[in-house]
Amino acid sequence: MEKRLKLYLADIEDKEDGLLRLSLVKRPATGCACKVLSVGDKYVRVFAPIIVANKPIYRKDGNLGEYNLLFLPDVIKDIQTRTAIENPRIKFDVEHDGHDVEGVVVVSSFIIDHTTDTLYSNYYGLPDGSWVMELLIERNLYTKLDQEDARNRLEVNNLHKRIDVTKSNIKSSVKEKENMVNGTNPARSTSHDFFGISISGVFTYSEVSLSDAIDIYNKIRY
């Protein structure tokens, strides 16, 4: 039987709430990778999902245990607005190491609205209300991240080859081993893209009742 996790809605209710920094990560919790738009001599231009609307995100911590976290479109808009006002030169790091990284420039920041915008090929399937950015990343940094991701993929592939299991359980065993390499979040970046964006911030969580959670999940699913 599938385990039903508690659902929390994220919000910025207090003065201390808000986005602190953005991190370039190999395995974003949303499972949404950045999309490479063009590669120049000095910079690589990418389409970067920041917060995806109406998508339950699996989380696990010492206080709440396992749960799903959801950002609604109006909350995402508030976060974007507060960030633009209070933290316009948002800092970036790599894998949440806390060390500011140079070479990332925010070209644009906007909320997806399919009814008025058709700029990025239907925004790669992201729903309305999602927050995205267009970034310029210096080639040196891009190359470093790309090489690190290539090494990570090679480690996963080599691990798969070393697993000695029967044909009946090879699928589940490979999945388990792959999650050990990739971390606790099984979401994988797809296509040719090599990283995603993960947010660091302070947010107020509100637990949703079971009936409301089921209603929200049904609306998201259908």
Instruction: Kindly state whether residue 144 falls inside one of the protein's structural domains.
Output: yes
Tell whether the model's pLDDT for residue 196 goes beyond 60: yes
Q: What tokens were used for 136?
A: 């310029």
Instruction: Kindly state whether residue 1 falls inside one of the protein's structural domains.
Output: no
- Residue 86's Cβ-count burial label (10 Å; 0-12, 13-18, 19+) is exposed
Question: pLDDT-based confidence at 210, cuts 50/70/90?
Answer: low
Range name among 56-60, 112-116, 161-165, 201-205 with the lowest pLDDT average: 161-165
Taking the C-alpha atoms of residue 2 and residue 24, their distance in angstroms, rounded to an integer, is 32
pLDDT digits (tens, 9 = 90+) for 24-58: 998 898 889 998 989 999 999 999 999 999 999 99
Instruction: Kindly state whether residue 97 falls inside one of the protein's structural domains.
Output: yes
Closest Cα to residue 116, out of 130, 128, 124?
Answer: 128
Instruction: Kindly state whether residue 33 falls inside one of the protein's structural domains.
Output: yes
Closest Cα to residue 4, out of 61, 75, 73, 65?
Answer: 65
Cβ pair 124, 110 in contact under 8 A: no
The domain containing residue 83 runs over which residues? 6-221
* CA 139 vs CA 67, 72, 147: distances in Å: 38, 34, 12
φ, ψ of residue 214 to 5 degrees: the values are -60, -40
Tell whether the model's pLDDT for residue 74 goes beyond 60: yes
Q: What tokens were used for 24?
A: 């370039």
CB atoms within 10 A of CB 44: 20
φ, ψ of residue 53 to 5 degrees: the values are -75, 145
Q: 3-class secondary structure for 90-143?
A: CEEEECCCCCCCCCEEEEEEEECCCCCCCCCHHHHHCCCCCEEEEEEEEHHHHH
- Tell me the average pLDDT across 143-153: 66
Taking the C-alpha atoms of residue 18 and residue 11, their distance in angstroms, rounded to an integer, is 9
Kind and range of the H or E element at 70? strand 65-70
Tell whether the model's pLDDT for residue 79 goes beyond 80: yes
pLDDT of 160 reads 40
Question: pLDDT-based confidence at 143, cuts 50/70/90?
Answer: confident
- pTM for the model stands at 0.75
pLDDT of 122 reads 58
Instruction: Kindly state whether residue 105 falls inside one of the protein's structural domains.
Output: yes
Roughly how many angstroms between the first and final C-alpha of the chain, as a whole number?
22
Tell whether the model's pLDDT for residue 159 goes beyond 90: no
Q: What tokens were used for 142?
A: 């891009």
Instruction: Kindly state whether residue 128 falls inside one of the protein's structural domains.
Output: yes
How many domains is the chain built from? 1
Instruction: Kindly state whether residue 190 falls inside one of the protein's structural domains.
Output: yes
